[in-house]
Amino acid sequence: MQPHVKNTIYENVEENKSDLVQISEYIHENPELGYKEFKAVEKLTSYLKDKENEVSMPFGGLDTSFRATHIQGGGEKHIAVLAEYDALPKLGHACGHNIICTSALGAYLAAKRAMEKFNISGKVSIIGTPAEEGGGGKIRLLEAGAFEDVDASLMVHPTSGTTRIAGRCTTTYSFTIEFFGKSAHAASQPFKGINALDAAHLFFNAIGFLRQQVTSDVRMSGYIVDGGTASNVIPDYTKIQYSIRCMEDQEMSNLVERVKSCIQAAALATGCEVNINEEKGYAARTFSETLGNICRAALEEQGEKVLSGFPDDFGSTDFGNVSQLIPTTNPYFSLNETRVSLHTPEYEKLANQPISHIAIERSAKAMACTIVECFLDDSILERAKSEQTNEVSVDMRPR
């Protein structure tokens, strides 16, 4: 990228930085759950309007989604930067979504400014995507056609340790399991009962044995929602919430069947009836090395240390569903050299410390540079799109 274009991007982010920080702090101090992020959306869209942007809201049929778009010249290529702003129950912004949305805001405005000043042809959008924390807002937007004309997408996420460009993450699947038995007095006539809690225990034991027979990327976890009512009564009903994760969407169907076999075996062994409700979760995240390497270089140029390669992680995101359809890159910006787990009170505090201001500035600059670079070089998106079709055999991928 020519220095004068990059300098314009940097200058715009720096001019807006104090506003972006104030918006981030406001959203952090006013956490809202998925699909109820009205304060956050009002703050973000008001700022966009103040900067002379037309905003579509609600967008994609969701009350707390929005889109602002700038078209320069023919606008042949369309890149969207995504904003998340939902919080976690009881924990607030312990996943740093206040940083995600303000970084996206800064990136959009800076890319737009460079496009206007140097007449760089392209189409850039910021899309507000609600309810990432379990609500699947991006999935609903995909179903509504919100990404049909988008050629590529990018989004930052805060982390700890060392900043990195994310590789794969896990796909998810969940079960609600209900065992139905027969109650009886646990002391005087236990032989007349059918113990639904035994079925729950057998299921967890069977899962324990299954763990040795799955690849190392598989994660299985759950808990007993209802395990009985009294110690002297054979439980006639138990309920379990259970989830599984793995790196490959194509492997999930086999894993689902193996877990269901554990459930059914527990019912058979105890004589219980069983009801299984299944729900497909988020898709596995794929990634564009081409886009990721451009974003990496843009971060490193600002003095940010970035891990080499594209490390996997074991979380899940509805950005994975977007990545299955169009090229994406997902930089993870570190807020702390020592690892601090997301979704904890400690990380909630980090997300509003001075380091978060640096994260917003550097992430906005890096994403804006990546966007504009794609508009300046026609070959970048072509290479990124070809990566979408070059599937690697599951057996060849790191497990």
* Residue 159: burial class (beta carbons within 10 Å; 0-12, 13-18, 19+): buried
Q: Which residue type, as a one-letter code, is found at position 112?
A: K
Q: Tell me the mean pLDDT in the region 240-248.
A: 95
Paired strand residues for 186: none
Q: What is the mean pLDDT of residues 42-62?
A: 97
Average pLDDT over residues 114-141: 97
Tell which residue, 193, 185, 394, 135, has the closest CA to residue 286: 394
Q: Cα 62 to chain center, whole Å?
A: 18
Percent residues over pLDDT 90 in the chain? 93
Both structure tokens of 332: 């993870």
- Calculate mean pLDDT across residues 149-159: 97
Residue 60, phi-psi category: left (phi > 0), alpha (psi -120 to 50), beta (remainder): left
Distance CA(197)–CA(56), nearest Å, equals 51
Higher per-residue pLDDT: 122 or 1: 122
Preceding omega of 58 cis (within 30 degrees of 0):
yes
Cα–Cα dist 11/198, whole Å: 65
The one-letter code for the residue type at 128 is: G
Other residues' Cβ atoms within 10 Å of the Cβ of residue 277: 9
Angstrom distance (rounded) from CA 36 to CA 125: 22
Residue 18 to residues 108, 164, 361, Cα–Cα distance (Å): 16, 25, 10
Cβ neighbours of residue 27 under 8 Å, at least 6 residues apart? 39, 40, 43, 85, 93, 97, 98, 101, 102
Could you tell me the end-to-end alpha-carbon distance of the chain, in angstroms, rounded to an integer? 37
Q: Is the pLDDT of residue 36 over 50?
A: yes
So what's the pLDDT on residue 393?
47
Is pLDDT above 80 for 391? no
Give the pLDDT confidence score for residue 249 in this predicted structure. Answer: 83
- What residues does 159 pair with on adjacent strands? 334
pTM value is 0.91
pLDDT at 39 over 50: yes
Residue 212, classed as helix, strand or coil, is helix
Statement: residue 148 has pLDDT above 90:
yes
Determine contact, residues 94/345, Cβ cutoff 8 Å.
yes
H-state helical runs in the chain: 3-29, 38-50, 97-118, 137-143, 196-210, 249-270, 289-300, 319-323, 345-350, 354-376, 378-389
User: Which amino acid is it at 150?
Assistant: V
DSSP string, 250-268: HHHHHHHHHHHHHHHHHHH
Read off the pLDDT of each residue in 175-196 and give the average, rounded to a whole number.
Answer: 96
**What confidence score (pLDDT) does residue 363 get?**
98
Residue-wise pLDDT tens digits, 83-94 = 999 999 999 999
Could you tell me which residues are beta bridge partners of residue 220? Answer: 244
Question: What is the mean predicted confidence (pLDDT) over 98-115?
Answer: 98
pLDDT at 176 over 50: yes
- Entry field: residues in the chain: 399
Residue 184: pLDDT over 80: yes
